[in-house]
Structure 1
Amino acid sequence: MTAPTATGAPATTAATSVTPTARQTWTRARGIVLALVLLAAGALTLAVLRSNDQHGRLDPRSADPYGSHAVAAVLADHGVTTRVVTTLDDARDAAGPDTTLLIATPDLLTRTQQTRLHTATTTSGGRTVLVAPDTPSVGRLAPGVTADPAPSFDTALAPGCALPAARRAGRAETGGIRYSTTAPDADTCYPYDDLPTLLRLPQTQGGDTVVLGAPDILYNDRLDQQGNASLALQLLGSRPHLVWYLPSLTDDSAAPDTGERGFFDLLPSGWLWGTLQLFIAAALAALWRSRRFGPLVLERLPVAIRASETVEGRARLYRKVNARDRAATALRTATRTRLAPLVGVPATRAHTPETLLPALSAHLDGAGAAQPLHDLLFGPPPGDDAALVSLADRLDALEREVRRP
């Protein structure tokens, strides 16, 4: 609306919007939007790369870089047959003294599957190879063995043990998960910071269990590096038959263990650590952007603020929401407050028509009729902006008439 001046003439002010423009909104939010776009693009790229990497991973039938067809071909040249199984029952039935059972992803097995598989391999008299088992699956498939939470940062390691297969292979890419064991007769090979990445655990029935800290020696694109081919051939070719167990979620024995696993047990540890890092990052961001609360500091304003600026600001707010009723009430209230002492009415009765209007008519010597004065000072709100401006002019004229000597 247009605020009246002291002379009664409406003052024209430029309309100023308090709502941020689209440009201001974009300027404030572009950093967050850019970060979200980069995060989404990075997640999409990582998902695509991982999907390509996981295709045929550790599958002896796959010729992809992370497949294991080359290992199966080398073993076939040495007379070792390779058979792929995807169910626990087939893996248990195939275990025997002349068989090497390789479990490609032990962590995918449920607790019940791990327990049943360990029972079958303990009495089979053959060899069991566990590829990169982590906590807690390694403790069930190879009791007495625990995985260290800190991995090896070097992939190619020296044997560091008397195991003939390791000594003949030399350096190999076994660096990954590190293990510790309580078995006194275990062969601990390829150590990193005094903890081995390859274990061989003898069994009472003549068989043994090999715990391999990393799957690199089985990949197609890593087989010709270091002593990987020699180590893989000796670990998997000690028996004439190799059973390659690729756990599958479609296996009936993979049904969830009722009452044994909760929601957080089904999440890999990496997701839990990632969520914790996100919470820490959010807390740091909130601390960075939050308001700093401290003691109040009194300081002198650099300039004096004119009262007219406050009036103009409130008028623009009223106009923004079309609050003509409130604007009219504010004008009439201020006028009544100023007129009351001029006509001898106490301030507490300034807003009572029965008291103010008779005193005001007597002061004007009957020049103002009671009804026009009532409509002017206590009437309904104006219907449009023009009526509001007219009301302001009439109130100003009334106040000048009362103040006239």
Structure 2
Amino acid sequence: MTSEATLPTTSASPTARQLWTRSRGVLLAVVLLLVGGVVIAVVRSSAHHGRLDPRSADPYGSHAVAALLAERGVSTRVVTTLDEARTAAAPDTTLLLAAPDLLTRRQQDRLRQATQHSGGRTVLIAPRTSLEGLLPGVSAEDPTPGFESLLEPGCALPAARRAGTADTGGIRYVTVASHADHCYPSDGLPTLLRLPAASGSGDTVVLGAPDILYNQQLDEQGNASLALQLLGSRSHVVWYLPSLSDTSATASGSRSFFDLLPPGWLWGTLQLFIAAGVAALWRARRLGPLVPEKLPVAIRASETVEGRARLYRKARARDRAASALRSTTRTRLAPLVGVPLAQAHAPEALLPALSAHLHNDGQSLHPLLFGPPPGDDAALIALADQLDALEREVRRP
């Protein structure tokens, strides 16, 4: 047997089972995240579909209000753009804003200019951030914890007194206007405001909760009476539902791709980036010097060697592993062929002695004992096998 002899090798590459074991946790987390996102999207979509839409018969739609108004000779028309809403403002029209907080500040200013002298009625449903642009001088207060949605009129407004108790509890409002009607108070602040226009012929009604307009709650308490009186004071109702197709939302009349994305997607993307960063910190390699530690128990040499080999494999340090194997082999071979340990790592001293001992030319020993590091794990295992074979050949009598 010569130094070129090799033994059967085994692959150090991870098997498919090992890869599945390592990655199944991450894959399961990704699948759960995707499924959860789809479920939440479906639930939210079904919950908000047709909300406050007079054409929708869903529980949170408002088709029942529109039907009752039609029986009393009041027409209801849905508009989705600001220009349609501004054009519709007239003395014989009630303009209802189902989602005033979705309007931009520019849209709010333009709508206020069109309605403040129109002579008609404007109804704002649960406005909060839009009050500064639509109704200066009025501010919103959050509901108190555990607030009661069913409230008493508590004012002299005829529509409220005739309707009686209604589900108006929600956002509360504060105004300095002395001529305003403060109705349905919750902890001292009204949830329904009526402010007459400066011209004297029109007014604005601010409603802190949309509950009285929902199909599923219209037949409770005085909800239907209050809704019909607030919306039926004129012969026409224009129901403004802001939409993404309205080009008036931007000054230039055009929207970018990001303007069309709902805010929830932006927050969801930010959470995904944060989760990816946390996962990277969790799985990243820890850099820094090794800290020596005195072991409490003695560890067998075989366990130490195996543990160090695993570290080399995990770090893909094939060059260090090959250097350690070759250095140890040279150290053991030098005394066997009569070379001092001080010259064991010198090719010019070790290789001739090995050639003489093995009776060969020694040309194949130089790349084996002093060659470059192996290119992959299989080559590293082959190198270890060849070094073992060489040492056995030298030790054989």
Spell out, residue by residue over 1:161-191, the C-alpha distance to the aligned partner (whole angstroms, 9 max, x if none): 3333223222212233333323233223223
Partner of 1:71: 65
What amino acid is the match of 1:395?
E
Q: Which has the larger radius of gyration?
A: 1
**Cα distance, 1:200 vs. partner?**
1.4
Q: Say which of 209, 217, 220 aligns to 1:214.
A: 209
Partner of 2:159: 165
* CA distance 1:304–1:37, shift in 2 (3 Å): closer
* CA distance 1:290–1:389, shift in 2 (3 Å): closer
Give secondary structure in 2 for the equivalent of 1:374: coil
User: Would the aligned equivalents of 2:154 and 2:183 in 1 still touch at CA under 8 Å?
Assistant: yes
Range moving further from structure 2, 99-108 or 151-160: 151-160
User: Would the aligned equivalents of 1:335 and 1:399 in 2 still touch at CA under 8 Å?
Assistant: no
**Any residues of structure 2 matched to 1:213-232 within 5 Å, and which?**
213-232=208-227
Partner of 1:352: 346
* CA distance 1:371–1:116, shift in 2 (3 Å): same
Q: Give the superposed CA RMSD.
A: 5.0
Partner of 1:4: none
Write the distance in 2 (CA, Å) between the matches of 1:238 and 1:159.
Answer: 19
What amino acid is the match of 2:136?
P
What amino acid is the match of 1:121?
T
* CA distance 1:172–1:350, shift in 2 (3 Å): same
Partner of 1:398: 394
Give secondary structure in 1 for the equivalent of 2:356: coil
User: Would the aligned equivalents of 1:353 and 1:374 in 2 still touch at CA under 8 Å?
Assistant: no
Q: Say which of 67, 87, 90 aligns to 1:93.
A: 87
Partner of 1:183: 177
Q: Say which of 97, 104, 129 aligns to 1:103.
A: 97
Tell me, which stretches of 5 or more residues in structure 2 are unaligned? 1-5, 372-378
User: Would the aligned equivalents of 1:337 and 1:350 in 2 still touch at CA under 8 Å?
Assistant: yes
**Any residues of structure 2 matched to 1:275-354 within 5 Å, and which?**
298-307=293-302, 310=305, 314=309, 333-338=327-332, 340=334, 347-354=341-348
* CA distance 1:205–1:52, shift in 2 (3 Å): same
Give secondary structure in 1 for the equivalent of 2:360: helix
Write the distance in 2 (CA, Å) between the matches of 1:50 and 1:342.
Answer: 80
* CA distance 1:339–1:39, shift in 2 (3 Å): closer
**Cα distance, 1:102 vs. partner?**
1.4
Give secondary structure in 2 for the equivalent of 1:197: strand
* CA distance 1:270–1:353, shift in 2 (3 Å): closer
Give secondary structure in 1 for the equivalent of 2:362: helix
Write the distance in 2 (CA, Å) between the matches of 1:239 and 1:387.
Answer: 94
Partner of 1:141: 134
Range moving further from structure 2, 227-236 or 302-311: 302-311
Tell me, which stretches of 5 or more residues in structure 1 are unaligned? 1-9, 362-366
Higher relative CO (Cα under 8 Å, sequence separation at least 6) belongs to 2
What amino acid is the match of 1:44?
V
User: Would the aligned equivalents of 1:332 and 1:395 in 2 still touch at CA under 8 Å?
Assistant: no
Spell out, residue by residue over 1:211-233, the C-alpha distance to the aligned partner (whole angstroms, 9 max, x if none): 11222211222110121101101
Percent of paired sites with the same residue: 57
* CA distance 1:44–1:74, shift in 2 (3 Å): same
Write the distance in 2 (CA, Å) between the matches of 1:119 and 1:243.
Answer: 17
Write the distance in 1 (CA, Å) between the matches of 2:97 and 2:270.
Answer: 31
Q: Say which of 343, 362, 366 aligns to 1:378.
A: 366
Write the distance in 1 (CA, Å) between the matches of 2:172 and 2:235.
Answer: 29
* CA distance 1:163–1:65, shift in 2 (3 Å): same
* CA distance 1:189–1:33, shift in 2 (3 Å): farther
Partner of 1:127: 121
Range moving further from structure 2, 379-388 or 391-400: 379-388
* CA distance 1:276–1:187, shift in 2 (3 Å): farther
TM-score (norm 1): 0.71
User: Would the aligned equivalents of 2:101 and 2:127 in 1 still touch at CA under 8 Å?
Assistant: yes
**Cα distance, 1:107 vs. partner?**
2.7
Write the distance in 2 (CA, Å) between the matches of 1:291 and 1:220.
Answer: 58
Write the distance in 2 (CA, Å) between the matches of 1:387 and 1:296.
Answer: 31
User: Would the aligned equivalents of 1:179 and 1:197 in 2 still touch at CA under 8 Å?
Assistant: yes
**Cα distance, 1:123 vs. partner?**
0.8
